[in-house]
Chains A and B, each alone.
Chain A
Amino acid sequence: MAEDGRDELLGTDGDSEPLVAGRSLRHKGVEQGCSLLRRMEICVAEAEKRSGRNTVNMQEIFTVYLIETRSMEAVSEGHNSAPDSLWRRYSEFELLRSYLIVTYPHVVVAPLPEKRAEFVWHKLSADNMDPDFVERRRVGLENFLVRVASHSVLSNDKILYHFLTEEHGWREVVYETGFQAKAESRLRALSATFRVRNTDKRFMDMKHYSDELQSHTSQLLRARARVADRLYGVFKVHGNYGRVFSEWSAIEKEMGDGLQSAGHHMDAYAASIDDILEEEEHYADQLKEYLSYAEALRAVCRKHELTQFELEMASQDLISKKQQREELATGIVRTFSFKGMTNKLFGQEAPEQREARLKLLEELIAEGEDTVKEKTVECQEHVERAWVDMQRFEEQKDKDLREALINYAVMQISMCKKGIQVWSNAKECFIKM
């Protein structure tokens, strides 16, 4: 299912090579409207190693990724012009994502590919410099950009546009937005989770679902890695057949040729598992994406708890201030207050003081009412917008994961076909023994 942007991309002009590399061409659910992706083509074309000094002035080697962009007009007009490009490193992607999460707390923001290789089956390198890992990360980064740029809300963000188009000074611009101040402390978020009273049931259900999604995908990834490990062992042992058949064929007359060629097929069989499992890593990556998405989903739910909690706090505060005013006005003390106690001990305060305090309270109450109005709107807006985005996410997730399962089946089929071929060949050799 191709969204329109992609159709233009693919349908036009055979000359212009799609910049999107190979199999990363995935069809993301693109929102109607002016998403960035409809206006420009984005891809992460390459990765390179650089060295430089880090924040503590130590020499380090890191990888940078080449982001290429081309406006859709250039593509559709058949200009074979070189795309604009710039280099970014992983930490800059991380910064971009942090910014987006804070600035659009109602959006389930696409995750980045994993920072370190996890759920590794033993043969696969857990080394960040490993070329296969770098390649898969390149694909993941491109996927991230495509998802973000095709989101109806995120795609309009200036910082995102800047990230894609201006190499230098981007970090400063991001920091200037002051987004970091808006980021919630974990403590506040946690506190809200425990103390909030009236949350929207749909959000709580969604939060519970995000836990389930996380738990299931991580279990599955772990089990898959173990299965891969074992399968590797089975295939590789057949290499020993190759060797012994070859040695054995040397002492046989009639049987020699058959044994020798069968041995070659055994070697081929043993070697084939490397590609098969490397291919399967792409499936694992698709699962990992949704493992990370679970976290993003949970973050949106937590934001709801937070806004709701702040609203409740503000309302509570307003009520208590109103009560204080009432007490001051009527002189009847309902609540304990320090002032009340000192009044009892040292006698009532003077009327002027009371007046001043009343006046202050009135101001605070007026402020408090504004705050409650604000918080109500904030909470309400968040609920509305987040609910829409969570629906979008759910649809996207169903589609993507179903596609991933289909890809998995395709891989299994390919592996079976290879197996049939190798063993049919081996059988022919044995028959000639």
Chain B
Amino acid sequence: MSGQTVPVDYSGHMLDLDEDEDLEVFSKKAPVADGNPMPNSPSSMVNQFRLEEDEPQDVNAKDLFITVDNPESHITAIETFIMYRVLTKTTRSEFDSSEYEVHRRYQDFLWLRSRLEETHPTLIVHPLPEKFVMKGMVERFNDDFIHTRRKALHRFLNKISEHPILSYNQHFKVFLTAEELTSHRKQGPGFLSRMGETVRAVANTVRGLKSRPEEFAAMQEYVDDFSNKICTVDKVTQRIIKEEREYLDELKQYGPMYGQWAESEGNLAEPLKAVASCVERCGKETEEHAHHLSEVLVPTLHEYILCAETLKAVMRRRDHIQAEFEAKNEALASRKSEQEALQEEVDGLSDRMEGSNEALKGDWFRWKAGMRTDLKSAFVSSAEKNVDYYEKCLAVWESFLLSQRAESSDQQDGEDVS
């Protein structure tokens, strides 16, 4: 797993990592209860936890554990919003304490992420769940929406905590530890506004990029293709869920008809009622299956759709950095005066470009490995659930057959039942 080692030439981002092997291993926090009665979500959470634990983190034995839970509605005169509890447990020396409990709202997460991107423009910062859900009339504070968002926020913080560089970011530490975030948020201009400036600046000088280095060209192509594919997989999955739900609706009408028929029958009533019960039980399994898809596969796919967008943005930023350098470089070539000052600028931009490229290259491998792990795990889990579904239905019908064989006093020949 080559992606796991920390690339050594992160100029300016070099960190001393804690190589202490005797780290106390924290027991995994119990799966967060979020008031959702559905039985599957805790186990899927545990799966995610387990996998992150199993991943050989090399020098980064996991020493930072974060959970997001307890969504609570806060109502003020001006607005209503949800506060999430963020619990941190750590052994890192940079932290004054080993446990922290803070409360954060979605805006705070947005702030954190923009800070991270601004500090590390060509690192791949895991995406946040979307601000709004586009389709349908989903209320902002509908339970499903909050449940999904909370899980995604939890994923986000854990992804950051696993990142060899980002997890040591100052803003990240503040986010996890500060009681009050508002004072910290006011510092410095937002990256986005700076980004706007850069875009305009580049646009003004634009000749387009001279040429993208080959590896980044390949990366760009991959990102575009990947984005397409993952979107399609997501669409297909959503469609399957929809079809399954419609199938379930029909089953719910179909099953009881056997029961109704049984009411006008004598000897036939018992097997008819048994079939009605079988259909009902299979219906329950179908419901559970559709739910599992929604809880495990869909969020993961969705996350990687957002990742694809993040990657595109990262590539754009890298391109801009290169463009800025090239623009200044050309200015240097054409100007006669101010050569020294310009040369210094150009050198600075050149260093920045090289640093950014290296950072991206390193993080790219890391990201790909993570993507592979996450998607593989989600697909494996879904396939397992399918097997489980069919096994349960099989058991239902087999028990029916058994009951009928026990019932029949006339001997059925072996041949009329395969």
Contact between chains at A423 and B393 (CB < 8 Å): no
Interface stretch of the complex, out of A176-184, A192-200, A239-247, A372-380: A239-247
B271 touches A420 (CB 8 A): no
Q: Flag if A409 contacts B390 (CB, 8 Å).
A: no
The reply to whether B254 and A227 form a contact with Cβ atoms under 8 Å apart is yes
CB closest chain-A residue, reference B278: A409
Say whether B400 contacts A409, CB under 8 Å.
yes
Stretch at the interface among A47-55, A93-101, A213-221, A297-305: A213-221
Q: Take A237-B236, A405-B275, A412-B393 as given contacts and tell me if A424 and B387 are in contact as well, using a CB distance cutoff of 8 Å.
A: yes
Which one of B383, B411, B417 has the highest number of Cβ atoms from chain A below 10 Å of its Cβ? B383
Stretch in A31-39, A324-332, A395-403 touching the partner: A395-403
Cross-chain contact A230 with B246 (CB below 8 angstroms): yes
Contact mask for chain A residues 222-260; partner B; CB cutoff 8 A; 1 contact, 0 none: 011011011101100110110011011001001100100
From A153-161, A306-314, A343-351, A425-433, the one touching the partner chain is: A425-433
A2: Cβ under 8 A from any B Cβ: yes
Which residues from 50 to 93 on chain B have a C-beta closer than 8 Å to any C-beta of chain A? none
A399: chain B residues within 8 A (beta carbon): 410
Residue numbers in B under 8 Å from A417 (CB-CB): 390, 394
Q: Which residues on A sit within 8 Å (CB–CB) of B264? A: 209, 212-213, 216
Alpha-carbon gap, A366 to B142, bound state (A): 89
The yes or no answer to B36 lying at the interface (CB within 8 A) is: no
Interfacial chain B residues near A226, Cβ < 8 Å: 250, 253-254
Would you call the interface of chain A mostly helix, strand, loop, or mixed? helix
Residues of B within 8 A of A406 (CB): 271, 401, 404, 417
Taken together as a complex, chains A and B put the C-alpha atoms of A276 and B411 apart, in Å, by: 28
Flag if A244 contacts B412 (CB, 8 Å): no
The answer to whether B400 and A427 have CB atoms under 8 Å apart is no
Knowing A398-B266, A416-B393, A419-B386 touch, does A224 contact B254 (C-beta < 8 A)? yes
| A126 CB–B CB distance under 8 Å | no
Structural contact, A426 and B383, CB atoms closer than 8 A: yes
CA distance A230 to B272 in the complex (A): 23
Within 8 A of A (CB), among B382-418: 383-384, 386-387, 389-391, 393-394, 397-398, 400-401, 404, 408, 410-413, 415-418
Alpha-carbon gap, A229 to B249, bound state (A): 12
Residue A408 at the chain B interface, CB threshold 8 Å: yes
Q: Is A333 an interface residue (CB 8 A)?
A: no
Q: Is B268 located at the chain interface by the 8 A CB criterion?
A: yes
The reply to whether the CB of B331 lies closer than 8 angstroms to some CB of chain A is no
Report the separation of the CA atoms of residues A258 and B380 in the bound assembly, to the nearest whole angstrom.
Answer: 11
Please, which residues of chain B bring their CB within 8 A of the CB of A394?
266
Q: Tell whether A58 is near chain B: CB-to-CB under 8 Å.
A: no
Interface status of A413 (Cβ within 8 A of chain B): yes
Closest beta carbon of chain A to B281's beta carbon, Å: 11
- Which residues 334-384 of B sit at the A interface, judged by CB distance below 8 A? 372, 375-376, 379-380, 383-384
**Are B379 and A413 in touch, CB under 8 angstroms?**
no
Report Cα–Cα, A254/B264, bound state, in Å. 61
Pick from B232, B380, B386: contact of A244, CB below 8 A. B232
Contact A223 B393 (CB under 8 A): no
A61 an interface residue at 8 Å Cβ cutoff? no
- How far is the CB of B291 from the nearest CB of chain A, in Å? 15
Q: Closest Cβ of chain A: how far from B302's Cβ, in Å?
A: 16
Stretch of B23-31, B97-105, B171-179, B237-245 lying at the A interface: B237-245
Give the size range of B's interface with the partner: 35 or more
- A262 on interface, CB distance cutoff 8 Å: yes
B225 in contact with A251 (CB, 8 Å) = yes
Instruction: Kindly identify which residue among B243, B267, B411 contacts A233, using a CB–CB cutoff of 8 Å.
Output: B243
Binary per-residue interface labels of chain B (217-251) against chain A in the complex, 1 for a CB within 8 Å, 0 otherwise: 00000100110010011001001100110110111
CB distance from A327 to the nearest CB of B (A): 51
Provided the pairs A409-B278, A420-B390 are in contact, do residues A398 and B268 lie with their beta carbons within 8 angstroms? yes
Whether the Cβ atoms of B411 and A1 lie closer than 8 Å is: yes
Known: A405-B271, A413-B394. A244 touches B236 (CB 8 A): yes
In the complex, chain A residues whose CB is within 8 Å of the CB of B250? 223, 226-227, 229-230
- Contact B383–A427 (Cβ < 8 Å): yes
Across-interface contacts of B246 in A (CB, < 8 A) = 230, 233
Please indicate the chain B residues that have their CB under 8 angstroms from the CB of A217 in the complex.
261
List of A residues within 8 angstroms of B398 by Cβ:
413
Is A27's beta carbon under 8 Å from chain B? yes
Chain A CB within 8 A of B260 CB = yes
A341 contacts the other chain (CB 8 A): no
The answer to whether residues A244 and B229 also contact, given A402-B404, A406-B417 and a CB cut-off of 8 A, is yes
The CA of A22 and the CA of B210, in the complex, are separated in Å by: 74
Contact (Cβ within 8 A) A237 B387 = no
Contacts of A397 in B (CB 8 A): 268
CA distance in complex: A427, B268 (Å): 41
Contacts of B229 in A (CB 8 A): 244, 247-248, 251
Question: A1-B410, A234-B243, A406-B401 are known contacts; what are 13 more A-B pairs with Cβ within 8 Å?
Answer: A212-B264, A216-B257, A220-B254, A223-B250, A234-B247, A248-B229, A398-B266, A398-B267, A405-B271, A405-B404, A416-B390, A420-B390, A423-B390
User: Closest 4 CB pairs between A and B?
Assistant: A427-B383, A419-B390, A230-B247, A416-B394
